Amino acid sequence: MKAMIVGAYGQLGRCLQAAAPAGAELVTHDLDTLDITDGNAVMAAVTAAQPHILFNAAAYTAVDRAESEEDKALAANATAVGYLAAGARATGARFVQVSTDFVFDGISGVPYAPDAPTAPVNAYGRTKLAGEATAGSDALIVRTAWVYAPTGGNFVRTMLRLMSERPEVRVVSDQIGTPTYAPGLAAALWRLVELGATGIYHYTDSGAASWYDFAVAIQEEALAAGLLSWAVPVIPITTAEFPTPARRPHYSVLDKQTTFVALGAPAPHWRAQLRAMIETIKTNG
């Protein structure tokens, strides 16, 4: 089996490589080797690779900057997805597109099912929703949220740095979602491909939290592991107290039941996955 991974050296891309089944042949591309907004270049790269599976782990993810650069975000998150999907169809490959909880407006009081109406409230969400359309109905589209990994820039690593540098940290407490440990997401993507899944699926870790809850847990786990030497106050604030160019959904918990049934088990709880991440950082730095 040959798999092509685009965005191979981002958080998820690295985890997809690490989670690849034994014997899988990997063809990896990132910004330095493939411009996914160049349709001819994409078709040439996919044709040369002749993969059985094409994972798209690349995206424009600067949520706030997308408000002023929606054209750039659309090029990476939608137009490029169409190019990759076309390349996959031309070579007979399975196409896997990763999407986001930000396709929803956040006004629901219950977790969003895969077939729930979409209504993104920011440019990033609009471009990712457009990417789902260009991926096509024959693709496997997996929406996820709040992804983090031991390497790269993410909320966990940012909190660890701020908690070691500042006398206190202030974190939004009225945005609710679910953290997702990238190694678990990568394993789920490989498994869904193995099962022949197509259409829209939701995957995050189990449970729900606010960003404030997540930050408090990060400090507790890091103190227990010896990654932090002292505790600092974690101050809950409202979204209104932390204005950003892009609106965020206040509630974006995803309903993963159909995915968990397909996988044969629920994802681990986000707190357990956070602990695994902290232990990995402790061991590997």
**pLDDT tens track for 239-282:** 999 999 999 999 999 999 999 999 999 999 999 999 999 999 99
Q: How confident is the model at residue 284 (pLDDT cuts 50, 70, 90)?
A: confident
pLDDT digits (tens, 9 = 90+) for 96-135: 999 999 999 999 989 999 999 999 999 999 999 999 999 9
Q: Which of 112, 124, 181, 203 is catalytic?
A: 124
Show the tokens assigned to 62: 């600067």
On the CB side of 22, CA atoms within 13 Å amount to 0
Q: How confident is the model at residue 152 (pLDDT cuts 50, 70, 90)?
A: confident
Produce one character per residue of 64-98: b if its CB has 16 or more CB atoms within 10 Å, e if not: ebbbeebebbbbbbbbbbbbbbbbbeebebbbbbb
Q: At what angle do helices 80-91 and 39-49 cross, to 10 degrees?
A: 30
Phi-psi region of 106 (alpha: psi -120 to 50; beta: other; left: phi over 0): left
Residue 146: other Cβ atoms inside 10 A: 22
CA distance 231 to 216: 10
pLDDT digits (tens, 9 = 90+) for 43-53: 999 999 999 99
Say which residue the tokens 């983090």 belong to: 148
| Percent of the chain predicted with pLDDT > 90 | 98
Q: What is the mean pLDDT of residues 56-66?
A: 97
What pLDDT, on a 0 to 100 scale, did the predictor assign at position 151? 87
pLDDT digits (tens, 9 = 90+) for 7-54: 999 999 999 999 999 999 999 999 999 999 999 999 999 999 999 999
Hey, is 177 helix, strand or coil? strand
CA distance 237 to 216: 13
What pLDDT, on a 0 to 100 scale, did the predictor assign at position 232? 98
What count of residues does the chain have?
A: 285
**Domains observed in the chain:** 2-152+180-206+253-267 (3.40.50.720)
Q: Is 148 a catalytic residue?
A: no
What pLDDT, on a 0 to 100 scale, did the predictor assign at position 111? 98
CA distance 157 to 163: 10
Mean pLDDT of the chain: 97
pLDDT digits (tens, 9 = 90+) for 164-208: 999 999 999 999 999 999 999 999 999 999 999 999 999 999 999
Beta strands in 42-144 (DSSP E): 53-56, 94-100, 140-144
What pLDDT, on a 0 to 100 scale, did the predictor assign at position 242? 94
